[in-house]
Structure 1
Amino acid sequence: MSCSHLSLTRVLFALAGTMTLLAVVLGVTVSPWFLLLGVFVAANQWLFALVGACPASIVLGRTPCFRGEIQP
């Protein structure tokens, strides 16, 4: 599998956007408690901005596509 056109930051933005959209949809349709998922996503985005790593970036950084892109 060739994934040279992907960057870790781009994948993280896509993942965060998907999870935020999912949190809003589930919060409106199922339970408002799902909005806490959006809070968790936002906290991880701030963590990545301030420290340079978040749990998702560490996990994705260990995959063959992104190996060596981030140093936790």
Structure 2
Amino acid sequence: MSLDRAVLAFAGVMILLSVVLTAFVSPLFVWFTVFIGLNMLQSAFTGWCPAALVFKRLGVKEGCAFR
């Protein structure tokens, strides 16, 4: 799995988790979803993503996400 796909998969899992937590635990978990969305938006403009740094340290290789 490439770094791009790992980050996209992680973001998707976090969004789904936040939706489930919002629905079944507390409506305040919607702020978790907002945080994830803002993080994705800032990384689109700046190219800096904290999750990508973590995945790189875990040994995920960089490469094209759509091969």
Percent of pairs with identical residues: 44
TM-score (normalizing by structure 1): 0.76
2:43 is equivalent to residue 48 of structure 1: yes
Gaps in structure 1 of 5+ consecutive residues: 1-5
Gaps in structure 2 of 5+ consecutive residues: 63-67
Task: For residue 60 of structure 2, give the secondary structure of its aligned residue in structure 1.
Answer: coil
Question: In the alignment, residue 16 of structure 1 is paired with which amino acid?
Answer: A
1:1-72 to structure 2, matched below 5 A, reads 6-66=1-61, 69=62
Map Cα deviations across residues 26-56 of structure 1 (whole Å, 9 max, x no partner): 1011101111111111111112211112111
> What is the root-mean-square deviation of aligned Cα atoms in Å?
1.2
TM-score (normalizing by structure 2): 0.81
- Structure 1 segments of 4+ aligned residues over 4 angstroms from their partners: none
| Number of corresponding residues | 62
Map Cα deviations across residues 9-38 of structure 1 (whole Å, 9 max, x no partner): 111111111110111111011101111111
Task: For residue 53 of structure 1, give the secondary structure of its aligned residue in structure 2.
Answer: coil
Greater RCO structure (CA 8 Å; 6+ sep): 2
